[in-house]
Amino acid sequence: MNEEQELFLKTLREKISELPFHHLLGLNASNFDIETGCIRFEMRDELVGNSHFKILHGGMIATILDSEAAFILARDGAWRFETGTAEHPLIIKGGTVDLRIDYLRPGKGSRFVASGTILRAGKKVASVRTELRNELDELIAVGTGTYLVG
């Protein structure tokens, strides 16, 4: 990886983690692993959707899988960027077109990791498959999304 790519990935991780919604969820740059392309996070009371069973909220699962797809698309160069201002140096030219989440088991666990794979990236759209697993490597949910990339 050359210097320009390293700087881009560092800036990408910082900018993604600065999104107000990610901040609300408690995600920061340390959650976004550039090497593996994964998002890692720990269970917190604020993320619980069922307080009796202490499982992740379904909306949190969907958000993480959507964010993982965006992270992979940006990291692997499928998402296009424009140079912006000093305040907003990277402007993402894309977004979610369609997202399907299959909830396979309750989101039980203390630590979670989301990973993803680009199935196809064209000039206008890309398809991404994502997974969320807990610390026992149990598959919690999978997502399949279509994203505008150009």
Region of 137 (left: φ > 0; alpha: ψ -120 to 50; beta: rest) is: left
How many whole angstroms separate alpha carbon 122 and alpha carbon 85?
28
88 has pLDDT over 60:
no
CA atoms within 13 A on the CB side of 43: 19
Assign domain 3-148 to its CATH architecture. Roll (3.10)
Residues 114-138 as b or e (16 or more Cβ within 10 Å = b): bbbebeebeeebbbbbbbbbbeeee
Q: What is the pLDDT of residue 75?
A: 82
- Distance linking the first and last C-alpha atoms of the chain: 24
pTM of the model: 0.87
Q: What is the pLDDT of residue 147?
A: 94
Percent of the chain with pLDDT over 90: 55
Q: What is the pLDDT of residue 81?
A: 56
DSSP state of 2: -
How many whole angstroms separate alpha carbon 72 and alpha carbon 37?
6
Average pLDDT value for residue range 119-139: 96
Domains of the chain by residue range: 3-148
Strand residues in 7-138 grouped as ranges (E)? 32-33, 38-42, 48-50, 55-56, 80-83, 90-93, 95-103, 111-121, 125-134
Q: What is the pLDDT of residue 87?
A: 60
- pLDDT band at residue 78 under the 50/70/90 scheme: low
**What pLDDT digit, counting tens, does each position of 26-64 carry?**
888 888 888 888 999 999 999 999 989 999 999 999 999
Joined together, the tokens standing for residue 56 give: 């992740």
Average pLDDT value for residue range 108-133: 96
CB atoms within 10 A of CB 5: 10
Q: What is the pLDDT of residue 13?
A: 74
More confident residue, 61 or 23: 61
Average pLDDT value for residue range 88-112: 86
- pLDDT band at residue 77 under the 50/70/90 scheme: confident
